[in-house]
Chain A
Amino acid sequence: MTHLLEVENLNVRFALRFGDLTAIDGISFHLDRKEKLGIVGESGAGKSVTGFAIINLLSKPGYIAGGRIRFEGREIHRLSAEALRQIRGNRISMIFQDPMMTLNPVLTIGTQMVETVRAHRRVSKAEARTLALEKLQKVYIPSPEKRLDQYPHEMSGGMRQRIVIAIALLTDPALIIADEPTTALDVTIQAGIMELLGELCATEEMGLILITHDLAVVSQVTERIAVMYAGQIIETGSTAEIVARPRHPYTIGLINSLPGTRRAGSRLEQIPGMMPVLTAIPEGCAFHPRCFLAAPECRAARPDLTPVNGARQWAACHRLDQTAQPNLLKDSTSRP
C-alpha cells in the first residue's frame, strides 16, 4: 500500500567551497492522511532541513543528494519547477517558526491570502476573498472581514500564526508541515495553536508533520515521533510508547531533561556535551561521545534502526539490552 508521503533513505548535503557537508544522512519515514508525525531533536539535528527537503525548498547551497521523496505517488525531487510550484502551498503547505517574520510586511493579509488561492485555482478575486474569510473563521480569527485589509504589523504574534495557518489551509492541502509553529509564541498562546493544528488535522483530513524541539508539545499532539540526532533518525515509533519507554540513550536523556519530571527546586537533568557540528560528526554512533552507555563497538560502527517492543518502536543503538532497564528514567510518575 502506498502512503501519502514516503521518504526513503533521504540524503541532503550542503555544497560548500571545501566540499560537501551531509546534513541529512539516510533517513526514512512515511505518513498518511489524518496522521500526525512529530520530528524531534536539538537545533542542528536536521529537522527543519527535512521539512524543507519535502517540498524541495532547501536554501542554497543545500541539495537533495540521494534517496526518494514520494508524495501522492509522485517523486518530488524529479518534478519540474512548475510541477513543484503546483504542489507547494497547494497539496503541501508549510507553517514557519516565527509568525513575525513569515508574513510580508508591506502587503495586506487579504493580498497574501488571495494570491495563494489564485496561484493554484482559477477563481476571481472576490471568490478567493470569500474562501479566505471562511478559512480565517476556521482558525478562530475575530472579525475576519476587518483583518483582510490590515497589515501584519497590526496584529499580535499569536494572531499572525493563526493567519499563517489559515493561509496553509486555503487550498485544502493533503499535508501540512509545521516547523516549530509555537516556538516563537507565548506559552499561553502555544497550547491554543497546538490544539487548533491537531483539530484541523482531523476535520480537514490532512497529514501533519510537526517539527519541534519540544517533546512535551509533540507528546500532546502526535501519534508517532521520529527523534533526530546529527542528521539521522535514532529512534522512532508510537509517541506514547517512546515517551513511556524510550530505548535510545539520547531519547532517555531528552525525557529526563524535561522540567516536568523533576521536583520543584531540584537541579534539571541535562545531556552532557553538545550536538556535533556537521563538519565533525563522530565515527560510528554519532551520539557516543555524549552517551553514558558508550562502549567500544559504538565508536566502531553505526547502529541501524532495530525493532524493539514488538516493532511498535525502532531504535538505533548497540546497547539496546542496557536501555531496556526501567530505572534509566529518573522519574516515571509525572512525565507529560
Chain B
Amino acid sequence: MFAFIVRRVLQAIVVMGVIAFIGFSVQHSIGDPVRDMVGERVSLAEREAIRDQLGLNDPVPIQFGRFCWKALHGDLGISYFHKRPALDVILSKAPATLELVFGATVIILVFCFPVGIYTAIRPRAWLSRFVMAVSTVGVAVPVFLTAIVLIYIFGVELRWLPTYGRGETVALGGWDTGLLTADGLLHLILPSVALSSIMLPLYIRLIRSEMMEVLETEYIKFAWAKGLSRWRIWLLHAFKNTLLPVITVFGVEIGILFAFTLLTETVFQWQGMGFMFLEAVERSDTALLVAYLVVVGVMFVVINTLVDICYGLVNPMVRVAGNP
C-alpha cells in the first residue's frame, strides 16, 4: 500500500508539472508585460533593457524554471486589477468555493447512495421509476436554469431562503467560513442544491446501473445460495463491488463540479474563485487567470490522488499491484 501511495504521489507531481507548463505558456504568450508597464514614449532600446532586466529574453526553459521556482514559493505574479499577489487574491476567495463544493458534495453523498441502491434493488417499484424519470430531467437541465428556478421558488415566491451572497461569515484563522453561522448555512443551501443538481442524478443513475449489474453476478447468486441475509448481500457484497467504478467516476467528476462553480457562483453572486475568475477574464487579468489555473489544478490533483488512494483501500487487486 505504501508503494502504491508513493507511486501515486509521484504521478501527481508529474501532472502538476504539466499544469504549471500550461499556466506558464498562457502567461508567456498572452500579452506583453513590458507594454503594459511602460508608456508609448519609451524607446525600443529601453524596452529591450527592461526585457533583459525582467528576464524575458532568457531561453524559455530558464523562464519556465524560474516560473516553477516562484510558484513553489507561492509567487504567481501580481494581479493587475487588485494590485495584490494573485495567490493572495485567490486564497481569499477559495474558502467560499470550497465550501460551496463541500455543500454540494455532502448533498450528493447523502442522497446518491440510498436512492441509487433502492432503485437498483427495486427497479420496478413506482418510486424507482419516478426517480429515474426525474433524474433524466435533472441530467438534461443546465445548472444555471436550475439555479434560477430555485431562486424563483424559494427566494422570490416562498421567501424561505436567501438567494444572494454568502451571508454572515466568521474568520477562522485565514479561513473565512460561512459554515459556523446559521445565516451562512442558510445562504449555502440554494447554491449547493443548484450545484449538486448536475451531479446527483448522474450518480444515482451510475450507482443504480452498476449495482444492477453486480446483482446479476455469480458471486451474488452464490451469496444468496449461502443463505446470507438480504441486507448483508445488498449492502456489503453488492455495494462494495459497486463502489469501485463509482469512486473512479467520482474522482473525475469532482473536477467538473469545480468547473460548474463558475456558473453557480455567478447566478448566486457567490464571492468565490469562479466569480473572481469570470471577473478576471473580463479585465484580462492574466496573472490572476494563471494563478486560478494553477490553484484549481493543485486542488484537482490532490483530490484525484486522495480518490485513487481510497480506491486502493476498497479494491484488494490494486493493493497487490502496488506491492513491489
Which A residues have a C-beta under 8 Å from some C-beta of B?
Answer: 55, 57, 59, 85-90, 93-94, 96-98, 101-108, 115-116, 119-120, 151, 153-154, 164, 167
Write the chain B residue with the least CB distance to A154.
Answer: B320
Chain B neighbourhood of A119, CB < 8 A: 226-229, 232
Among the listed A93, A98, A151, A167, which residue makes an inter-chain contact with B316, where contact means beta carbons less than 8 Å apart? A151
Supplied contacts A93-B225, A96-B218, A96-B222, 12 more A-B pairs, CB within 8 Å:
A55-B225, A57-B224, A88-B224, A88-B225, A89-B225, A96-B225, A103-B219, A105-B316, A106-B240, A106-B316, A116-B227, A116-B228
Chain B neighbourhood of A87, CB < 8 A: 227
Contact (Cβ within 8 A) B221 A57: yes
Known interface pairs A102-B219, A153-B317, A154-B320; A107-B225 also in contact (CB < 8 Å): no
Among the listed B219, B224, B320, which residue makes an inter-chain contact with A104, where contact means beta carbons less than 8 Å apart? B219
Known interface pairs A57-B221, A96-B221; A105-B317 also in contact (CB < 8 Å): yes
Contact (Cβ within 8 A) B227 A120: yes
Q: Taking the complex as formed, is B241 at the interface, i.e. its CB lies under 8 A from any CB of chain A?
A: yes
Q: Mark B199-239, 1 if CB is under 8 A from A, else 0.
A: 00000000000000000011101111111110010001100
Write the chain A residue with the least CB distance to B224.
Answer: A57
Among the listed A89, A108, A153, A154, which residue makes an inter-chain contact with B228, where contact means beta carbons less than 8 Å apart? A89
Write the chain B residue with the least CB distance to A55.
Answer: B225
Q: How far is the CB of A98 from chain B (nearest CB, A)?
A: 6
Bound complex: CA of A59 vs CA of B225, how far in Å?
12
Bound complex: CA of A81 vs CA of B315, how far in Å?
32
Contact (Cβ within 8 A) A102 B222: yes
Q: How many A-B residue pairs have CB under 8 A?
A: 78
Bound complex: CA of A96 vs CA of B223, how far in Å?
11
Contact (Cβ within 8 A) B227 A167: no
Q: Taking the complex as formed, is B314 at the interface, i.e. its CB lies under 8 A from any CB of chain A?
A: yes
Contact (Cβ within 8 A) A106 B315: yes
Chain A neighbourhood of B237, CB < 8 A: 104, 107
Q: How far is the CB of B269 from chain A (nearest CB, A)?
A: 45
Contact (Cβ within 8 A) A94 B225: yes
Chain B neighbourhood of A105, CB < 8 A: 219, 241, 316-317
Chain A neighbourhood of B320, CB < 8 A: 151, 153-154
Q: Interface residues of B: mostly helix, strand, loop or mixed?
A: helix
Contact (Cβ within 8 A) B232 A107: no
Number of B residues with CB within 8 Å of any CB on chain A: 23
Chain A neighbourhood of B217, CB < 8 A: 101
Chain B neighbourhood of A167, CB < 8 A: 226
Bound complex: CA of A263 vs CA of B37, how far in Å?
96
| 8 nearest CB pairs, A to B | A89-B227, A89-B226, A88-B227, A101-B218, A151-B316, A94-B225, A104-B219, A116-B226
Among the listed B219, B223, B226, B317, which residue makes an inter-chain contact with A101, where contact means beta carbons less than 8 Å apart? B219
25 example contacts (A-B, Cβ-Cβ < 8 A) are as follows A57-B224, A85-B227, A88-B226, A89-B227, A93-B226, A96-B218, A96-B221, A96-B225, A101-B217, A101-B219, A103-B219, A103-B222, A104-B223, A104-B237, A105-B219, A105-B317, A106-B314, A107-B237, A108-B316, A115-B228, A116-B226, A119-B232, A151-B320, A153-B316, A153-B320
Bound complex: CA of A153 vs CA of B223, how far in Å?
17
Which B residues have a C-beta under 8 Å from some C-beta of A?
Answer: 217-219, 221-229, 232, 236-237, 240-241, 244, 314-317, 320
Bound complex: CA of A154 vs CA of B320, how far in Å?
9
Q: How far is the CB of B113 from chain A (nearest CB, A)?
A: 17
Chain A neighbourhood of B236, CB < 8 A: 107
Bound complex: CA of A89 vs CA of B224, how far in Å?
8
Q: How far is the CB of B242 from chain A (nearest CB, A)?
A: 10
Contact (Cβ within 8 A) A106 B218: no
Q: How far is the CB of B265 from chain A (nearest CB, A)?
A: 39
Chain A neighbourhood of B226, CB < 8 A: 88-89, 93, 115-116, 119, 167
Chain B neighbourhood of A88, CB < 8 A: 224-227
Q: How far is the CB of A159 from chain B (nearest CB, A)?
A: 16
Bound complex: CA of A116 vs CA of B227, how far in Å?
7
Q: How far is the CB of A108 from chain B (nearest CB, A)?
A: 8
Chain B neighbourhood of A115, CB < 8 A: 226, 228, 232
Write the chain A residue with the least CB distance to B244.
Answer: A106
Bound complex: CA of A103 vs CA of B217, how far in Å?
10
Q: How far is the CB of B80 from chain A (nearest CB, A)?
A: 53
Bound complex: CA of A167 vs CA of B225, how far in Å?
11
Which among B217, B218, B240, B244 has the highest number of chain A CB atoms within 10 Å? B218
Bound complex: CA of A122 vs CA of B84, how far in Å?
68
Chain B neighbourhood of A85, CB < 8 A: 227-229
Q: How far is the CB of A197 from chain B (nearest CB, A)?
A: 17
Write the chain A residue with the least CB distance to B228.
Answer: A119
Chain B neighbourhood of A108, CB < 8 A: 316
Chain A neighbourhood of B225, CB < 8 A: 55, 57, 88-89, 93-94, 96
Bound complex: CA of A194 vs CA of B224, how far in Å?
24
Contact (Cβ within 8 A) B241 A104: yes
Bound complex: CA of A104 vs CA of B314, how far in Å?
13
Q: How far is the CB of A166 from chain B (nearest CB, A)?
A: 12
Which among B223, B226, B320 has the highest number of chain A CB atoms within 10 Å? B226
Q: How far is the CB of B206 from chain A (nearest CB, A)?
A: 18
Q: How far is the CB of A226 from chain B (nearest CB, A)?
A: 21
Q: How far is the CB of B37 from chain A (nearest CB, A)?
A: 60
Q: How far is the CB of A74 from chain B (nearest CB, A)?
A: 15
Contact (Cβ within 8 A) B228 A102: no
Chain B neighbourhood of A89, CB < 8 A: 225-228
Q: How far is the CB of B191 from chain A (nearest CB, A)?
A: 36
Q: How far is the CB of A28 from chain B (nearest CB, A)?
A: 23
Bound complex: CA of A172 vs CA of B217, how far in Å?
26
